[in-house]
């Protein structure tokens, strides 16, 4: 029996190395295929700073608590209006604010509520991509997005911006209401 082990030790050693490496590569590739389509790696700018991502400059972002006349929101909630200055430097890159995230405490994530809040639709809620469109901004502009959040949200918060071509990287601007 020991002769067989001795004759095949090179193959057994290679098998002991190649099987874990193959499993690791397979699992890593599957994870990357999943993660590459999701916002996974944040490029973060602290409060009062801006960030560059994909040739677009975002920030510095501001957040303010606001009320909108004749708007009923659920009890125990408030509306936070987020404003993010955007400079595409002459490009036509599309982008959007897709979430507001608590960075401390419960780490809850809130989605933009432009459908629930009667928002002024003359404001940009994303980066238009069609340069032929009438409302396409020629230079720097601001994205304004409302979020309905619980009353106990007080910050710091991360305003998360997405550029599809830059995934899995995304921009996060830190704000404190």
pLDDT tens sequence across 9-41: 888 899 889 888 988 888 888 777 776 678 888
DSSP H/E element including 31: helix 9-35
Burial profile 141-156: b = 16 or more Cβ within 10 angstroms, e = fewer: bebbbbbbbeeebebb
Mean pLDDT across the chain: 87
Please state the rounded mean pLDDT for residues 59-70. Answer: 89
Q: How far, in Å, CA of 62 to CA of 98, rounded?
A: 16
pLDDT at residue 78, as a whole number: 92
For residue 1, what pLDDT band results from cuts at 50, 70 and 90?
low
Q: How confident is the model at residue 87 (pLDDT cuts 50, 70, 90)?
A: very high
Beta bridge partners of 126: 96
Q: What is the pLDDT of residue 32?
A: 73
Confidence of residue 171 (pLDDT cuts 50, 70, 90): very high
Q: Which pLDDT tens digit goes with each residue over 106-159?
A: 889 999 877 777 777 677 888 888 788 777 888 899 999 999 999 999 879 999
Compute the distance between CA of residue 159 and CA of residue 143 in angstroms, rounded to an integer. Answer: 11
Nearest to 68 by CA among 157, 146, 155: 146
Give the side-chain half-sphere CA count within 13 A for 107: 0
């459908």: which residue's tokens?
115
Task: Give the pLDDT of residue 82.
Answer: 94
Alpha helical stretches, state H, 36-131: none
pLDDT for 121 equals 66
d(CA 88, CA 143): 12
pLDDT at 90 over 80: yes
pLDDT at 140 (0 to 100):
92
- Residue 82's CB: how many other CB atoms inside 10 A? 22
pTM: 0.78
């Amino acid at each position: 029996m020991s002769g067989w082990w001795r004759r095949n030790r090179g193959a057994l050693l290679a098998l002991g190395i190649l099987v874990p490496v193959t499993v690791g590569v397979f699992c890593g590739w599957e994870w990357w295929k999943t993660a590459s389509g999701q916002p996974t790696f944040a490029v973060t700018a602290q409060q009062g700073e801006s960030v560059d991502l994909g040739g677009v400059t975002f920030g510095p972002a501001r957040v303010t608590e606001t009320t909108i006349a004749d708007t009923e929101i659920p009890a125990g909630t408030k509306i936070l209006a987020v404003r993010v200055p955007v400079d595409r430097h002459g490009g036509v890159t599309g982008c959007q604010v897709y979430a507001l995230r608590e960075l401390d405490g419960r780490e809850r994530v809130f989605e933009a509520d432009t459908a629930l809040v009667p928002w002024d639709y003359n404001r940009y809620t994303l980066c238009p991509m069609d340069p032929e469109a009438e409302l396409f901004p020629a230079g720097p502009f601001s994205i304004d997005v409302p979020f309905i959040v619980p009353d106990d949200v007080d910050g710091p918060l991360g305003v998360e911006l997405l550029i599809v071509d830059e995934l899995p990287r995304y921009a996060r601007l830190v704000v404190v209401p």
